[in-house]
Structures are given as structure tokens and as C-alpha cells.
Chain A
Amino acid sequence: MTINRREFLRRTIHSALGGVALYSALGNLKLVSAATHAINGGVFNDYKALVCVFLNGGNDSFNTVVPYDATHYGIYHATRPALALSQSAIAAQSLIAQATQPGLPGGPPSDAGSYGLHPAMPELRSMFNAQHASIIGNVGTLLGPITQAQYQAGGFPTPPQLFSHDDQANFWQTSRSDDANASGWGGRIADLLHDGNPSQQLPMTISLSGQNLFQRGDSIDQYVMSASGVESIGYLGEYQNELGAQTFGALIADGTQAHMFERAYAGANRRAIATYELLQSVLGTTPTWTTPFPNSYLGSQLRQVANLISARGPGALDMRRQIFYVSLGGFDTHDTQLASQAGILADLSASLHAFYQATVQMGIAGDVTSFTASDFGRTLSTNGDGTDHGWGGHHFVVGGDVRGGRFFGQMPSLLQNANPDDAGYGQIIPTTSVDQYSATLANWFGLGAAGINDVFPNLELYASPDLGFMAS
């Protein structure tokens, strides 16, 4: 049923964009407030990209965004003495929050503390202070707002299998904590907006990190490539196999099949080859990025995303809406966290910065938004040299359209005992839902009200469907 409704919406949005009406939807066009500010003959006339940076394993955000003022640092240090970063090191990475703007969310931390970033993250700190990045506090999977009292009383709806990697990572990627078998929210957006791209050659969802749930749609399939390039049919390029390649080509050549399905299959093969050849050709000459990307897994993924975005124009990929997926692993820091987390946070910071600088270099910093996501936050309490699976956690959004230099949402208490935000065992109850976080990004992306309602059906559970961290 969902799929039928989505197909209907897709078609109506496409119609609203000025495309051919594929579906008789008279009287229902009013559903679509989507993206109609940017229409031109069926396609968007501006470019926007979303980049999901998934931190595999559940990042310990309580050692990523840390208070350094005496009161809050004292609490932080008392709660996790074995893992506490030094006060001076945090202060040296201080975040200068912008003042609250009248009538708008976002500003200094809700607990009035002074916060800094992990010492391994100077680039992200600079971007925050330059208002190119913001922090969304205590985001997590929810089935509606829930208080500590409600949680502890039991029976109040919460996402199933809390604290479990796969389940919670899935809910982050689907924004459907009520449905363990849902498709991804990036994929569902692509189902609706793909037709708004001038070229239909390349899927608007591209993964640099394997098949993922976030980009799984019902009708648009993610294109998977690697940081090092596009996979091509190996046989066609084998040494001394020219006649083999020629034979393969003759078997799929247009007009050589007698059966309709054979023709369709041959056509699909030719299309797949054309897609990778197109990507190979546009990636054959890529810009020289003035801010070098780290030679890390994440750095090379984001470099490839920048390369792809640089080829977005007519004559190359000809795309106006794209959703990318990259990932970084190692966040499941049950032990030796101080050593291991520093390295990956450093990579995250430097890679996000290089990527942002690439968008500046392309002159489209305001058209590209990167955001972090992760399985869950980790426990406030420690197990000695590490932390365990938690629930809510802080996240970063980066881009020229981000209302930067601000904290959004609530900063939870870091108290070890009598903590009003603690679900138990230091697992912090989220005060902002993944649904709100995702929908705010989707709204900026141009999904429109009807699309938002479709992709995020649980959004109605929250008073603020848009968190206000995007400028337009």
C-alpha cells in the first residue's frame, strides 16, 4: 500500500515540477507543495546534495562534544573519570556559539555550558566557529517523545531492540522505528524526486561504501561504487581478450535479439555499461582540490563524492539532486576508547573539512549538506576503558546552508546519579528524534510538505517537525 501511495506521490510531484503527467491526479495536485519553487520543465533548476556520513558502531558523542566550564566539566569528570579528556585540551577547542536569534531555534548550548570538541577535531571546530557547522544535541531513535518517568514505568512506546547495533543503525537509516522492514529515508526521497533530475542515466543515490539501507528505495536503486572508482565488467578489459569483448558486445548489441525479454536484458546491459563508462569518463579528469583530503578510507570516499559533484553539470552527469552515502568504522569503543576514538574523530574532522572546502572551491558550499549518523550514542557511564551501547547522541551538520555555529536541541545532563535524562546505565534518552533530524534535512533538500509526510509518517508525533538548523 505504501508503495502505491509513493508511486502516486512521485508522479504527482513530477507533474508539479512541470513534467508529463503520468497519472491522472486531478484534484490531488494540491497535495504537492513540494519543490515547486524550483521548477523548470520537469526538473529542478538548482543543485542540492545530501551526504550521509555514517559512523559505524555508535559514536561516543559525550567524548566528542565536551563541556569545559568548571561546573559542567566537574560533572563530566566525576561521571567518567577513566575516560575524561583534559579540561585544558577541551578549552583549547572551544566552540563559539552564536547568540539566539529571535523566533528561531539554535544558539548556545541549552544547559548554558561552555563546550569544546575532542582535541583531535580542530578542523570541525574551525568550521563550527566560522558558522559552517552546527551540533544537534542528543538525537536518537524514538516512537514519540518520552520522559524518564514514562520510560521507567514501562509500556510506553519505544523503538524495539534499543541498544542493539543492527536494529538501531537500521532505524537511523530508515527513520521508521516502527517498522523493522522499512526502506531507507534517502531511498524514499529518491523515489519521489529522481524524476526532477535532467538525466535519468545515473541513480540519484550513490554509495561509496557498499549497499546500504539508507539509500534503499522502492523504485530507485542505489548505485554502488568505491572510493577508488567505478566497477566495470572485467572481462571486457582483459589482456588479449579483444575478440571476447567483441563477442560480448555482439551478443548484447541492439537489434540482435529475437525475444522481447532478451532485448530488454541486452538493453539493460548496455545501459549499465554506459553508466559506468560515463562515470569513468567524468572521473577521468577531476579537479585539483586545494585542501587535500586525508588519505584515509573516509577521506577517499568524500574525495570521490566531491569528484562526482564536480561533474554534476550538463554534458557530464547532469544531476540536480543527489544523495551520497559514506561511512567510517571503529566507533564501537567498548575498550581502549581513548586511543582508538581519537584517530577516527581526527579522520572525521579532517575529511569533513576537506570536503566542505571542496564545495567552497566549486562555489556550491550552500548547496551541499553533510550530516553524521550513527547506530546510537554510547553510555555516559564507562566500563573502565570504554563505553557501552547507549541511545541518544550528538550529531554534526556541515554546509554553507547550515545555520552554523549553533547548538540545537537539548544537551543532556551528564550526572552519574539522579540524572533526569538517564534511561538507566547511563543510556541517555534522546530529546530529539531521528525523524526530526532527517526531516529537517529533507525539507531543505526540497522534498516539500506532501513528500515529508510520506517519507516521515511518524513526524506528526513531534511538536517541531523542522529543527530549524537549515537556513533555507
Chain B
Amino acid sequence: MLRVLQERSSVQSGRRWISTLLVALMAFLLASGQAGAGEPDPIFNDGFDGVVGPNSDVEAARFLDQASFGGRLSDIAHLRAIGYSAWINEQVAAGVSGIKPFLNWMALTEGVYQQHRLEAWLINAAQLYDPAIPLATHNDQLRQRVAFALSEIMVVSDKNAALTFQPWALGDYYDTLSLDAFGNFRDLLEDVTLHPAMGRYLSMLGNRKNDPVLNIRPDENYAREVLQLFSIGLSQLNADGTPVLVGGNPVPTYNQDVVRGFAHVFTGWNFAGCTVENYDDCGPGNPYESEWQTPMQAVEAFHDNSTDKQLLNYPGVALPGGVLTAGGNAQQELDAALDNIFHHPNVGPFIARQLIQRLVTSNPTPAYVQRVAAKFADNGGGVRGDMQAVVRAILLDDQARHGQLSSPSTFGKLREPILRLARLWRVAPAHSVNGHTFRYSHPRDQYGQLPLSAPSVFNFFKPDFAQPGEIRNAGLVSPEFQIATDTQLVTAPNELGWRIFYFYVGSRYSVVWENGAPVPEEALMDYTALKALAANPATLVDHLNLVMMAGSMSDYMRGLLITRLQGTPPDHLPGQPDGAAVDVALFRVQQALYLIVNSPEFNIQK
């Protein structure tokens, strides 16, 4: 317990310092913005990337749709004041939000499970009050959004039984992605490879060299997936992400010999502190122990140092013929193997395309992928794999900024289901009495998606899933549609509806109100600001159009919503005291939120 406390307080004090600095910085920046009376200040807006803007609230909101969990009015104003480039700089510099501090805080009073990881994730995404670090603002939205994207590429999951009761392992894994989000891809690759959660998930942990007596050969699980899913993919790509075709057929990036070669490289790794003697049965006894949060370490006796390994072979490969000659120790061979992957020409376009898909659009043009991949290859300063440069290139590309104009009927993507809840809590700020977010109301299967809870290493959805019908017929892909199933399209609206109609400040609903007071753990949405706009339905709808849909609502939808809000409320609203007069403003806010958050127009981020 002492260890936990110490760790928490050190994180906390570090955070507090960063927060203080940020508050000062933001105050300065806001003041600068205000000096221009709401007009973008050219000094801040004329970024080094040559992308000027945003030039309107709508442009700002649209950018924040891609780069954050959704722009609130204050976010929109701030972005307009400082411009895209400065905003990205600010995000990169912002203190890093973590999952683990909340888990450690939880551990002071009760058992910690995966559901608490979800609470921490929502606190970070929706920027709720954080009881673990009361002064934290969780202003690192871009970093968290990128980390979420990475968590869907380099997948580990609590659906794997060996990880189900390991919330710290997964929390630490997620925090690793957050910390590495703007670092170098090579470091990210190594941190992911050596994380014990990944080690357990794809069985590199405890992997060992050939043992002919015991009939054991190296496990190929991680070797296969790190190539197929985390770095280069199955077939060779052109610089623009399109497949290399020979005689009309794609060309494989590797074969079974290569998988075997990497499998032999990835031998000898186990929990930190394991030894030759206890290699088969060592590791932490409890989920909170440090071994779950410490990179795997090598036990050389179980590392294959006696065979040559066939790794990836490609033009310009450093290893002759892609062969790693025998003799290195576990870390040396790992370094060589990860370098061998990192320098494969596929990595840039492969990762660029998927990050674009998660943040901006399902179907980026090859030229867009190529521009981002070029930044991956060289950030302009001769560095390969600079993720900050990659993210910047993704968001500031002309396609990201104006693709909805050039491809108005296909640009964009289906919003991820769990992001709808985070968005709701940003639009109508949520908070609980004691800083938890749920007592009994944790979402489970309703969204078909929770962070680090994918059904398999193939994520909740695959990058090339194409919804049957018009999208597939057009040769386009729509990954997120894979989980828009008959089941989820009922359960998610119902879950969101439950929150909207029952989980609001003032609600007397039994799950959130008992013994004459709010249930302290349940996060409730505060509708005060929205209700103030509801006297005129058009005002409310236009506000929500900006903060939820970046101003893209059609006149058709706007008209329908206004008509609905002008309609007669029911005699009684859920959660209202018996006999209370009908609160028309509450009715309008709830109806507007529900209808928007479940509408096709909102659900396609454009």
C-alpha cells in the first residue's frame, strides 16, 4: 500500500506542476487571442506547416472532431485563438493523462477491476473531475485520441482470460501508448513488444528456444501478429499505401520462414526478475505488482543464440539478405529484429493509413497516405518514425481539412460507439459526487466496444471491412460498420438514452438517487447550460449542431429537430419528482441530445 501511495503522490505532484504551468500558459494564450477580439491572430495561426486557420467556429469544431474527443465552446474558442499548429504544439506539451493513477486511487478503498480502467479512460476522454489527481485538467486530448487509435492497432485485450483480472497490466499498457503517442515509432514498437500485457496476450512471455527433448519450439504468435497487424501487413505496399501488384496479384511481405525467424528472436523473455530456475513458473502473484508494469526481461538460457534467423528482406535492408546471424543475446537480437521491421518500407503507409482511418476518414486518397507516409519516413529533419510529425501531417493535410468539400458523399467515417458516450459527457458535462463515474451502471456489451477489450487481436473491426451494399459496391471500406450490428444498433441507443433521460443532475431516478441525495458514484450530466438555450429550440439545435456535428447538420434534420422540440412534452419526465410541473427545457435538451446522438448525420464524422 505504501508503494502505491508513494507512486501516486509522485505522479500527482508532477501533474500538479505541469497543470500549473499549463494554466499559466493557457491564460497567456487566451489573453493573446482575446486581444484580437475573437479574430484569429495571424502570428499564432500562420503555423510552420503553412496551414492557416481555423477561420470559423465550424472549422475549429470540425478539426477538434478529428483531433480530440469533441470540441466544447471553450475548446473551439481556444483553438480559434491560437490556430492549428500552436494547438498541436500545446497538446504535445500537455501533461500526460494516465489510467494507472485512478487505479491506484481506487485501490485505496476497494478491489480494482477492468471496469475501473473504463472509468479512468472516460475521465480522461471527457475531461471529468479526477479524484485521483484533483488538479488535473486532462487537457492532452490529442494524445489520448491517438493513444486510443494505437490501442486499436497494437491490440491487447481483457477478453483474453489471462488478462481479465489484470487491470494494472492493461492500464499500464494503455499509458505506455499514451506516453509514446508523440514519440518515435521504433520506441513504441519496442515498448509494445516488451510489455508483459502483450507478452501474455500473444504468448511471447515465457517463449523459449527449441528443446528437442521436450518437443518444444518457439511460439510464433507474436512473431506473426507484430508483422501482420502492428507494422507492415501481409502484402507489399507502394509509398501511397496501395498494394504492389505483380501480374495483378499482391506480393507477400514475408513467408513462414520469416515468422519462424522472428519467433526464434523473440525467445527468452519473461516477467522482470524471472530466472533460469523458475522460468516456467514465475511472475507476479497479484495484479498490482510491478512486474505487470515493467518491461519483460531476458533470461539468456532460454534465448536461441545458436541459429541464424531469416528476417524481413527488402531493398536497402541492413541485414544481408535479411538474415540475422547467430550469436547475439536476447536484447541485441530483439534490437536487430525491431530495426529490421522498423525500416521496412511498408511501415509508413501501413500505419499512416490506419491512423488516418481512426482519426479522419475511412477512405483516404493514396496521395494523402503518401504525404503522411513521407513524414513517417523523414520528419523533415532526417528522422524516421517521428509520430508527432505523422499526427501533425494527418491533421493538417488538405484532405483532412477540406476533404468533405472534394468528396462530400464519401469523406469521413462512422463514429466509434464508445466515443459517443465520451462526446455526450463533453457536451453536457458529467460529474459525480465523489469522482467515480459508475456504481452499478458500467457499460458492458452495449457499445460493442470498450478500450482494450476487443474480441481478438484483430480489434473490434478490421481496417478493410466494407459494409455490404452501397459502400462495398463502391469499392470503399467502412471499418467501424463491422460492429454496427443488429444487436448493437439497439443496445447502444438504449444505453445512451438511459444516460440522457435518467442520469442528469437533479434526477430522482432510483439508480442515481437514494436516501434523499444523489448516489455519490454515478456521473450525472449537468444540463444547466443547455437548458438556458432551450427557450428557443432553434438556438439549442444550432448550438448542438456546432459542438456535436461541426455545423454539418442538414436543413432537413434541423427542421425535424426543431419541430420535435416545439412539440408537447409528456405529462411526466423520467427522474422528475411526482407531481412536478413539466420542465420543458429539460424535455427539449434530452430530446435533442437523444435524437442527435443516434442520428445518421451525427454518427458519420465528416
Q: Which of B362, B445, B606 contacts A211 (CB 8 A)?
A: B445
Residues of B within 8 A of A264 (CB): 467, 469-471, 478, 481
Q: Mark A171-194, 1 if CB is under 8 A from B, else 0.
A: 000000001111100000000000
The complex places the Cα of A165 from the Cα of B599 at a distance, in Å, of 41
Looking across the interface, which residue of chain A has its beta carbon closest to that of B561? A247
Q: Mark A152-183, 1 if CB is under 8 A from B, else 0.
A: 00111100110011110110000000011111
In the complex, the answer to whether A259 meets B412 with C-beta atoms within 8 Å is yes
The complex places the Cα of A247 from the Cα of B487 at a distance, in Å, of 22
**Interface status of A231 (Cβ within 8 A of chain B):** yes
The complex places the Cα of A235 from the Cα of B474 at a distance, in Å, of 33
The complex places the Cα of A239 from the Cα of B485 at a distance, in Å, of 27
Q: Mark B360-400, 1 if CB is under 8 A from A, else 0.
A: 00100000000000000000000000000000000000000
In the complex, the answer to whether B455 meets A183 with C-beta atoms within 8 Å is yes
Q: With A180-B160, A265-B604 as given contacts, are A258 and B409 in contact (CB-CB < 8 Å)? A: yes
Segment with Cβ contacts to A, from B187-195, B211-219, B305-313, B528-536: B211-219
Q: With A251-B601, A258-B408 as given contacts, are A3 and B491 in contact (CB-CB < 8 Å)? A: no
Q: How far does the Cβ of B197 sit from chain A's closest Cβ, in whole Å?
A: 13
Q: Mark B65-94, 1 if CB is under 8 A from A, else 0.
A: 000000000000000000000000000000
Q: Which of B408, B414, B600 contacts A257 (CB 8 A)?
A: B600
Residues of B within 8 A of A261 (CB): 362, 410, 412-414, 471, 478, 604
Q: How far does the Cβ of B599 sit from chain A's closest Cβ, in whole Å?
A: 5
In the complex, the answer to whether A224 meets B493 with C-beta atoms within 8 Å is no
Those of B530-570 within 8 Å (CB) of chain A:
554, 556-557, 560-561, 563-564, 567-570
The complex places the Cα of A269 from the Cα of B485 at a distance, in Å, of 9
In the complex, the answer to whether B162 meets A234 with C-beta atoms within 8 Å is no
**Interface status of A221 (Cβ within 8 A of chain B):** yes
In the complex, the answer to whether B600 meets A161 with C-beta atoms within 8 Å is no
The complex places the Cα of A13 from the Cα of B378 at a distance, in Å, of 48
In the complex, the answer to whether A259 meets B408 with C-beta atoms within 8 Å is yes
In the complex, the answer to whether B214 meets A224 with C-beta atoms within 8 Å is no
The complex places the Cα of A154 from the Cα of B563 at a distance, in Å, of 73
**Interface status of A425 (Cβ within 8 A of chain B):** no
Residues of B within 8 A of A3 (CB): 458
The complex places the Cα of A442 from the Cα of B455 at a distance, in Å, of 23
Residues of A within 8 A of B409 (CB): 258-260
In the complex, the answer to whether B160 meets A181 with C-beta atoms within 8 Å is yes
Looking across the interface, which residue of chain A has its beta carbon closest to that of B493? A233
**Interface status of B329 (Cβ within 8 A of chain A):** no
Q: Mark A239-268, 1 if CB is under 8 A from B, else 0.
A: 111011001101110001111111111111
**Interface status of A30 (Cβ within 8 A of chain B):** no
Q: Which of B413, B470, B591 contacts A263 (CB 8 A)?
A: B470
In the complex, the answer to whether B161 meets A180 with C-beta atoms within 8 Å is yes
Residues of B within 8 A of A271 (CB): 486
**Interface status of A111 (Cβ within 8 A of chain B):** no
In the complex, the answer to whether A180 meets B203 with C-beta atoms within 8 Å is yes
**Which of B215, B594, B604 has the most chain A CB within a 10 Å cutoff?**
B604
Those of B562-585 within 8 Å (CB) of chain A:
563-564, 567-571
The complex places the Cα of A1 from the Cα of B213 at a distance, in Å, of 31
Looking across the interface, which residue of chain B has its beta carbon closest to that of A154? B214
**Interface status of B12 (Cβ within 8 A of chain A):** no
Q: How far does the Cβ of B487 sit from chain A's closest Cβ, in whole Å?
A: 5
Residues of A within 8 A of B456 (CB): 181-183
In the complex, the answer to whether B570 meets A241 with C-beta atoms within 8 Å is yes
Residues of B within 8 A of A260 (CB): 409-410, 470-471, 474, 476
**Interface status of B506 (Cβ within 8 A of chain A):** no
Q: Which of B157, B414, B486, B494 contacts A221 (CB 8 A)?
A: B486
Residues of A within 8 A of B489 (CB): 268-269, 272
Those of B135-164 within 8 Å (CB) of chain A:
157, 160-162, 164
**Interface status of A372 (Cβ within 8 A of chain B):** no
Looking across the interface, which residue of chain A has its beta carbon closest to that of B410? A260
Q: How far does the Cβ of B215 sit from chain A's closest Cβ, in whole Å?
A: 7
**Interface status of B21 (Cβ within 8 A of chain A):** no
The complex places the Cα of A59 from the Cα of B413 at a distance, in Å, of 46
The complex places the Cα of A261 from the Cα of B467 at a distance, in Å, of 9
Q: How far does the Cβ of B297 sit from chain A's closest Cβ, in whole Å?
A: 21
In the complex, the answer to whether B457 meets A181 with C-beta atoms within 8 Å is yes
Those of B491-534 within 8 Å (CB) of chain A:
491, 493-494, 497
Query: What DSSP secondary structure best describes chain B's contact surface?
Result: loop
Residues of A within 8 A of B23 (CB): none
The complex places the Cα of A160 from the Cα of B163 at a distance, in Å, of 13
Residues of A within 8 A of B157 (CB): 181
Residues of A within 8 A of B52 (CB): none
Those of A264-288 within 8 Å (CB) of chain B:
264-269, 271-273, 275-276
Q: With A224-B445, A251-B557 as given contacts, are A259 and B604 in contact (CB-CB < 8 Å)? A: yes
Those of A1-30 within 8 Å (CB) of chain B:
1, 3
The complex places the Cα of A223 from the Cα of B470 at a distance, in Å, of 24
Q: How far does the Cβ of A184 sit from chain B's closest Cβ, in whole Å?
A: 10
In the complex, the answer to whether B161 meets A252 with C-beta atoms within 8 Å is no
Looking across the interface, which residue of chain B has its beta carbon closest to that of A157? B215
The complex places the Cα of A356 from the Cα of B476 at a distance, in Å, of 47
Q: Which of B164, B202, B455 contacts A216 (CB 8 A)?
A: B455
**Interface status of B490 (Cβ within 8 A of chain A):** yes
In the complex, the answer to whether A233 meets B595 with C-beta atoms within 8 Å is no
Residues of A within 8 A of B216 (CB): 155
**Interface status of B484 (Cβ within 8 A of chain A):** yes
Q: Mark A196-229, 1 if CB is under 8 A from B, else 0.
A: 0000001100000011000010100111100000
**Interface status of B102 (Cβ within 8 A of chain A):** no
Those of B287-339 within 8 Å (CB) of chain A:
none
In the complex, the answer to whether B570 meets A238 with C-beta atoms within 8 Å is yes
Residues of A within 8 A of B598 (CB): 235, 248, 251
In the complex, the answer to whether B408 meets A275 with C-beta atoms within 8 Å is no
In the complex, the answer to whether B486 meets A275 with C-beta atoms within 8 Å is yes
Residues of B within 8 A of A263 (CB): 470, 600
Q: With A3-B458, A258-B409 as given contacts, are A221 and B485 in contact (CB-CB < 8 Å)? A: yes
Q: Which of A161, A221, A244 contacts B591 (CB 8 A)?
A: A244
**Interface status of B32 (Cβ within 8 A of chain A):** no
Q: How far does the Cβ of A47 sit from chain B's closest Cβ, in whole Å?
A: 22
In the complex, the answer to whether B591 meets A262 with C-beta atoms within 8 Å is no
Residues of A within 8 A of B471 (CB): 260-261, 264
Q: With A222-B487, A223-B486 as given contacts, are A167 and B600 in contact (CB-CB < 8 Å)? A: no
Looking across the interface, which residue of chain A has its beta carbon closest to that of B413? A261
In the complex, the answer to whether B410 meets A248 with C-beta atoms within 8 Å is no
In the complex, the answer to whether A156 meets B215 with C-beta atoms within 8 Å is yes
Residues of A within 8 A of B215 (CB): 155-157
The complex places the Cα of A216 from the Cα of B557 at a distance, in Å, of 36
Q: How far does the Cβ of B253 sit from chain A's closest Cβ, in whole Å?
A: 12
In the complex, the answer to whether B564 meets A268 with C-beta atoms within 8 Å is no
**Interface status of B44 (Cβ within 8 A of chain A):** no
Residues of A within 8 A of B557 (CB): 251
Those of B28-43 within 8 Å (CB) of chain A:
none
Inter-chain pairs besides A156-B214, A166-B164, A235-B497, 16 sampled, C-beta below 8 Å: A155-B211, A165-B161, A180-B161, A181-B202, A202-B486, A244-B567, A244-B595, A247-B595, A248-B595, A257-B601, A258-B554, A259-B408, A261-B413, A264-B467, A264-B478, A272-B489
Those 7 A-B pairs whose CB atoms lie nearest each other, nearest first: A166-B161, A155-B214, A240-B570, A272-B489, A262-B600, A167-B161, A221-B485
9 CB < 8 A contacts A-B: A1-B228, A182-B456, A211-B445, A235-B497, A235-B594, A251-B595, A259-B410, A261-B414, A262-B604
B: residues with CB less than 8 A from A are 157, 160-162, 164, 201-203, 211, 213-216, 221, 228, 234, 362, 408-410, 412-414, 445, 455-458, 467, 469-471, 474, 476, 478, 481, 484-487, 489-491, 493-494, 497, 554, 556-557, 560-561, 563-564, 567-571, 591, 594-595, 598-601, 603-604, 606
A: residues with CB less than 8 A from B are 1, 3, 154-157, 160-161, 164-167, 169-170, 179-183, 202-203, 210-211, 216, 218, 221-224, 231-235, 238-241, 243-244, 247-248, 250-252, 256-269, 271-273, 275-276
